[in-house]
Structure 1
Protein backbone atom coordinates (compact mmCIF):
# COMPACT_ATOMS: atom_id res chain seq x y z
CA UNK A 1 0.00 0.00 0.00
CA UNK A 2 3.01 2.31 0.45
CA UNK A 3 3.22 2.81 -3.29
CA UNK A 4 -0.17 4.56 -3.14
CA UNK A 5 0.87 7.02 -0.44
CA UNK A 6 2.61 10.31 -1.27
CA UNK A 7 6.41 10.30 -1.26
CA UNK A 8 6.62 13.94 -0.18
CA UNK A 9 6.61 13.89 3.65
CA UNK A 10 4.55 17.08 4.02
CA UNK A 11 1.86 15.79 1.68
CA UNK A 12 1.95 12.44 3.51
CA UNK A 13 1.50 14.28 6.81
CA UNK A 14 -1.50 16.17 5.48
CA UNK A 15 -3.08 13.03 4.06
CA UNK A 16 -2.58 10.97 7.22
CA UNK A 17 -3.89 13.67 9.56
CA UNK A 18 -6.93 14.22 7.32
CA UNK A 19 -7.68 10.49 7.24
CA UNK A 20 -7.23 10.23 11.01
CA UNK A 21 -9.54 13.18 11.62
CA UNK A 22 -12.28 12.10 9.22
CA UNK A 23 -12.24 8.31 9.16
CA UNK A 24 -10.24 6.64 11.94
CA UNK A 25 -10.29 6.76 15.70
CA UNK A 26 -6.66 5.61 16.04
CA UNK A 27 -3.39 5.31 14.18
CA UNK A 28 -3.56 1.54 14.61
CA UNK A 29 -6.92 1.41 12.81
CA UNK A 30 -5.58 3.58 9.99
CA UNK A 31 -2.45 1.46 9.53
CA UNK A 32 -4.38 -1.81 9.64
CA UNK A 33 -6.93 -0.61 7.10
CA UNK A 34 -4.24 0.81 4.80
CA UNK A 35 -2.03 -2.27 5.16
CA UNK A 36 1.03 -0.33 6.27
CA UNK A 37 3.48 -0.73 9.14
CA UNK A 38 2.85 1.74 11.94
CA UNK A 39 6.56 1.98 12.79
CA UNK A 40 7.49 2.76 9.20
CA UNK A 41 4.90 5.54 9.06
CA UNK A 42 5.96 7.06 12.38
CA UNK A 43 9.60 6.84 11.28
CA UNK A 44 8.90 8.61 7.99
CA UNK A 45 7.00 11.42 9.66
CA UNK A 46 9.57 11.54 12.45
CA UNK A 47 12.14 12.49 9.83
CA UNK A 48 10.35 15.83 9.51
CA UNK A 49 9.99 16.17 13.30
CA UNK A 50 6.38 15.05 13.64
CA UNK A 51 5.21 12.50 16.13
CA UNK A 52 1.86 10.87 16.75
CA UNK A 53 -0.09 12.15 19.74
CA UNK A 54 -2.66 9.55 20.70
CA UNK A 55 -4.81 11.94 22.76
CA UNK A 56 -5.23 14.19 19.70
CA UNK A 57 -5.22 11.35 17.16
CA UNK A 58 -2.89 13.27 14.89
CA UNK A 59 0.73 13.91 14.06
CA UNK A 60 2.02 17.17 15.53
Structure 2
Protein backbone atom coordinates (compact mmCIF):
# COMPACT_ATOMS: atom_id res chain seq x y z
CA UNK A 1 0.00 0.00 0.00
CA UNK A 2 1.44 3.39 -0.92
CA UNK A 3 1.87 5.92 1.84
CA UNK A 4 -0.22 9.12 1.77
CA UNK A 5 1.32 11.99 -0.15
CA UNK A 6 -0.45 14.83 1.63
CA UNK A 7 1.82 15.86 4.55
CA UNK A 8 -1.01 16.22 7.08
CA UNK A 9 -2.48 12.83 6.26
CA UNK A 10 1.02 11.37 6.18
CA UNK A 11 1.65 12.72 9.68
CA UNK A 12 -1.43 11.00 11.03
CA UNK A 13 -0.64 7.77 9.20
CA UNK A 14 2.99 7.61 10.33
CA UNK A 15 2.26 8.47 13.95
CA UNK A 16 -0.49 5.86 14.08
CA UNK A 17 1.83 3.23 12.61
CA UNK A 18 4.57 4.16 15.08
CA UNK A 19 2.18 4.04 18.01
CA UNK A 20 0.49 0.77 17.09
CA UNK A 21 3.12 -1.34 15.33
CA UNK A 22 6.71 -0.08 15.40
CA UNK A 23 9.35 0.66 18.01
CA UNK A 24 11.01 3.36 15.92
CA UNK A 25 10.99 5.17 12.60
CA UNK A 26 13.79 3.08 11.11
CA UNK A 27 11.89 -0.13 11.75
CA UNK A 28 8.75 1.31 10.17
CA UNK A 29 10.63 2.45 7.06
CA UNK A 30 12.43 -0.85 6.64
CA UNK A 31 9.23 -2.82 6.96
CA UNK A 32 7.28 -0.58 4.57
CA UNK A 33 10.23 -0.32 2.19
CA UNK A 34 10.30 3.48 2.17
CA UNK A 35 13.15 5.94 2.52
CA UNK A 36 13.35 7.39 6.01
CA UNK A 37 14.68 10.65 4.60
CA UNK A 38 11.55 11.02 2.45
CA UNK A 39 9.30 10.87 5.49
CA UNK A 40 11.51 13.15 7.55
CA UNK A 41 11.75 15.79 4.82
CA UNK A 42 8.07 15.74 3.95
CA UNK A 43 7.04 16.15 7.60
CA UNK A 44 9.73 18.73 8.21
CA UNK A 45 8.03 20.82 5.52
CA UNK A 46 5.07 21.19 7.90
CA UNK A 47 7.32 21.78 10.92
CA UNK A 48 7.17 18.28 12.41
CA UNK A 49 10.25 16.40 13.55
CA UNK A 50 10.69 12.89 14.79
CA UNK A 51 11.18 12.51 18.54
CA UNK A 52 12.74 9.09 19.19
CA UNK A 53 12.01 9.20 22.91
CA UNK A 54 8.28 9.55 22.20
CA UNK A 55 8.45 7.57 18.96
CA UNK A 56 6.37 10.12 17.11
CA UNK A 57 6.53 13.20 14.97
CA UNK A 58 5.66 16.32 16.88
1:47 is displaced (CA, Å) by 0.3
What residue in structure 2 maps to residue 59 of structure 1?
Answer: 57
> TM-score, normalising length from structure 2?
0.95
- Superposed, 1:18-33 pairs within 5 Å as 18-33=16-31
- Kindly tell me the number of residue pairs found equivalent between the two proteins: 58
User: Which 4+ residue blocks in structure 1 deviate beyond 3 angstroms?
Assistant: none
Alignment RMSD:
1.0
1:23 is displaced (CA, Å) by 0.2
> TM-score, normalising length from structure 1?
0.92
Residue ranges of structure 2 left out of the alignment (5+ in a row):
none
Larger proportion of helix: 1
1:17 is displaced (CA, Å) by 0.1
Residue ranges of structure 1 left out of the alignment (5+ in a row):
none
